[in-house]
Amino acid sequence: MTRCDASEEPKDEKDKTWFRRCWREYDESFGEAEASVKLCEQLSGATNIDVIDLLRQSGRLATGAIKASAESRELLQRASALARDAVKMASIQASQIAAHRASQIRGIYGGQDELILRELMPKYSDEYVPAVDYLLDLGRRIQENGTCCIADDEYRLIRDKLHSAVDFVREYEIKAQEIDNRLRAERHELRNNTWGALLWAFAGLLLGFALDWLFSCITSM
């Protein structure tokens, strides 16, 4: 979609096609930002104040665009730009929350236990792990250089990775019980095996003593 602030300008103040396209673009950005706000709320339970305030400010401009016909073009363009900024801000914040939550989950199942995650989640190795690693690396980059280091076209990639990280968190929440059961069963089996091995070793030792005694009896006869 061509951006309404870019190459093409409206023919006149009543160029309905141009305005409609601009409103559609605004609608798309606004919807995306709202979805990210909801995602943040679901993941962390907290409202992303900066983003919702940015959306409010964009709403003020959009209301002005309806009211004032002479300046509506400029106001609508500014509203759209603010909504786009809100999308970027919301995407980054949501991605960081999701990455944090995902890395917490991975932290629980370190070492051998991670094999269960790989086994029960088909997308774990190919999709979830790279996405979480990418988002964690992004967080480090932002901490070092701020958000200015992120190129405009990278946001699409961030959103894709964000969706993967969120899928991972959701899939984990669905399968948590199953994973825990498997883990418990494996630990139980391991414990049983250890006790079994000890028992066999003890039995072997007893057999050794018995044989030794038997041989000594035979040789003394």
Partner 1 sequence: MSGEQNRPVFITRKPDDQFTSSYPQVDASVDEYIQSRGEYPIPAINELRYAVRHLIDAVLAPDKNKQKESWERALRHVDRARYDIPEYECSSLRLRVEAMLGTDAYKRYHHIVVKCIPNYYRHMIAFYETYEELKTFPALDKNSSVYEQRCNRMISTAQEFLDDIIKAEPLICAAMEREDRRKRNFKIWKISIFIGMAFLKLIASHLIF
Q: Is 6 in the site for partner 1 (CB under 8 A)?
A: no
Residue whose CB is less far from partner 1, 37 or 121: 37
Residue 122 tokens read as 């088909």
Write each residue from 26 to 65 as x if it is in contact with partner 1 (CB under 8 A), else as -, in one continuous string: xx--x---x------------x-x--xx-xx-xxx-xxx-
**193: helix, strand or coil:** helix
68: phi then psi, degrees, rounded to nearest 5: -100, 110
Distance between CA 121 and CA 183 in Å, rounded? 14
One residue of 8, 11, 24, 195 binding partner 1 per CB under 8 A: 24
Residue whose CB is less far from partner 1, 62 or 165: 62
Distance between CA 42 and CA 20 in Å, rounded? 32
Instruction: Tell me how far, at minimum, the Cβ of 58 lies from partner 1, in Å.
Output: 7
Q: Is 164 in the site for partner 1 (CB under 8 A)?
A: no
Contact 94, 40 (CB under 8 A): yes
Q: Is 23 in the site for partner 1 (CB under 8 A)?
A: yes
Side-chain half-sphere of 51: how many Cα atoms within 13 Å? 26
Nearest to 172 by CA among 115, 100, 136, 124: 124
Number of amino acids touching partner 1 (CB under 8 A): 21
Residue whose CB is less far from partner 1, 17 or 177: 17
Applying CB under 8 A, the residues found at the interface with partner 1 are 20, 23-24, 26-27, 30, 34, 47, 49, 52-53, 55-56, 58-60, 62-64, 66-67
